[in-house]
Structure 1
Amino acid sequence: MTIRIAMWSGPRNLSTAMMRSFSSRQDTFVSDEPFYGAYLAETGDPQPMAGEIIADMDTDWQSVTAALQGSPPVGHAVWYQKHMPHHMEGPVDIRAFPEMRHAFLIRDPIRVAASYANKRAAIRPEHLGLARQREYFEIEAERTGIAPPVVDSADILADPEEVLRRLVSALGISWDPAMLKWEKGPHPQDGIWQSHWYDKVNASTSFGSAPGPLPDLDEEYAGVAEACREDYEALRKFAL
């Protein structure tokens, strides 16, 4: 039986590098933000390439859900799904996927806001996804009686192998050293938005260096980061 992993990550959270890491495993197939098209069609959020994404993807919430619950990719023991919690604005949430093994990837909201600032993108606190990550974490912990695994991107960058070993152990799959490297450039399972957002990870072949001091933000971005601070700290307590 294929193990299905749902990784709930905010944007600009090392989420694509983590997807690259799992895709390097011979036993794993990856899916990139399968609800993105449905989110854009539902909300009209003016994201880059929104029209192209909607045209390229299944935008029906129930159809996407059925596909994720349906037949797994042939020949793979693990199906890793990269999900953005802020995309879940329709009738589907984490409770639709009790068969999956859920995990949460977090990042200090100051660093997330700074990454958006570098892209000159307007953001609201809900775009960072931390409030819904916390909500989903609490739902899953209550359902199973066990805190699901949480990983902080800063910890991964500081010691990729150690943190990834802890993560795969918590998810009940074997360690594979191939997770520490990947091929440069776009990957076949990337969403079409990779041309706008994935420049840095496309230039990489491994996780980067440990982060330096927290960056300074202007008033607008600092306010967004501060609004997400409490949720980040609540999740950070459970980081592997």
Structure 2
Amino acid sequence: MKLAVWSGPRNLSTAMMYAFGNRSDFHVVDEPFYAAYLARTGFDHPMRQEILRAQPTDPERVVADLTGPVPDGRAHAYHKHMAQHMIADMPRDWIADVTNVFLIRHPARVVASFSAKYEHPTLPEIGFVQQAELFDRLMATGARPVVVDSADIRAAPEPMLRALCAAIGLSFDPAMLHWPAGGHAQDGVWAPVWYGAVHRSTGFAGAEGPLPALEGAAADLAQAALPAYEHLRAHRLRGPS
């Protein structure tokens, strides 16, 4: 299985990569289109030059790597994707040939967390609209991609991971619930900027508290992303009752 998990920034995506990466049958790939995205947009993200040197900037080469043999003799691959990287000229035809999961989080939480690391984010940079577009594209083909809300995973990690595995035809592995502190060998070169909290973790954090109070541009941004989030959330996976 090649598992493409579509997220936005600050959305439990690295912890989910670690959960699958702690299985002996999975190889993981961290944001494979990041360098291609930066090369095309010119965005000045933290560690831009290091990212451009560390990854292919040709998206067709990225696709060839993702759809080729799984490295290290593993049975499965977990591809952690940022939906905002799928700008207009990125290839998409390959997406129908992999198993797709959409990982969502309430926009108020995403905006509050992302804004703390990156000044003045815009709607295209937080990925909600792109997630909804990719989801609708797959649904139009008759596919039924899985949607998981990160809040549900944090509230009940084992039941939700069991439900996710069942939904994609995979056996559950208890190794997914914990991982070693300090990061993963396949972390992107940008990990020192973004992954501090998850590097200190050994499992999923507990349930989140009330939504953060946002003001001004941050509140407007979260509100603009809310329809896409609610569209996906209507399809979200429910854990065992």
Q: TM-score, normalised by structure 2?
A: 0.95
User: Offset of 1:218 from its aligned partner?
Assistant: 2.4
> Is this contact kept in 2: 1:36–1:87, CA < 8 A?
yes
* 1:203 pairs with one of 197, 200, 217: 200
Unaligned runs of at least 5 residues, structure 2: none
> Is this contact kept in 2: 1:39–1:90, CA < 8 A?
no
Secondary structure (helix, strand or coil) at the match of 2:71 reads coil
Q: TM-score, normalised by structure 1?
A: 0.96
* 1:96 pairs with one of 78, 84, 94: 94
> Is this contact kept in 2: 1:10–1:84, CA < 8 A?
yes
> Is this contact kept in 2: 1:116–1:122, CA < 8 A?
no
5 Å matches for 1:80-91?
A: 80-89=78-87, 91=89
Aligned equivalents of 1:61, 1:117: Cα separation in 2 = 28
Aligned equivalents of 1:207, 1:95: Cα separation in 2 = 33
5 Å matches for 1:50-199?
A: 50-89=48-87, 91-143=89-141, 145-199=142-196
Q: Which amino acid aligns with 1:166?
A: A
After the TM superposition, which parts of structure 1 deviate over 3 Å for at least 4 consecutive aligned residues? Answer: none
Secondary structure (helix, strand or coil) at the match of 2:219 reads helix
Q: Identify the range of structure 1 (216-225 vs 4-13) with the bigger mean alpha-carbon deviation.
A: 216-225
Q: Aligned pair 1:215/2:212, yes or no?
A: yes
Unaligned runs of at least 5 residues, structure 1: none
* 1:42 pairs with one of 2, 20, 40: 40
CA RMSD of aligned residues (A): 1.1
> Is this contact kept in 2: 1:42–1:90, CA < 8 A?
no
Q: Which amino acid aligns with 2:115?
A: A
Secondary structure (helix, strand or coil) at the match of 1:74 reads helix
User: Offset of 1:46 from its aligned partner?
Assistant: 1.4
User: Offset of 1:172 from its aligned partner?
Assistant: 1.1
Judging changes above 3 Å, is the alpha-carbon distance between structure 1 residues 235 and 129 closer, same or farther for their aligned structure 2 residues? same
> Is this contact kept in 2: 1:61–1:90, CA < 8 A?
no
Q: Sequence identity, in percent?
A: 47
Aligned equivalents of 1:89, 1:134: Cα separation in 2 = 13
Aligned equivalents of 1:128, 1:168: Cα separation in 2 = 26
> Is this contact kept in 1: 2:59–2:91, CA < 8 A?
no
> Is this contact kept in 2: 1:38–1:60, CA < 8 A?
yes
> Is this contact kept in 1: 2:60–2:91, CA < 8 A?
no
Aligned equivalents of 1:52, 1:105: Cα separation in 2 = 27
Aligned equivalents of 1:92, 1:167: Cα separation in 2 = 28
Aligned equivalents of 1:178, 1:232: Cα separation in 2 = 30
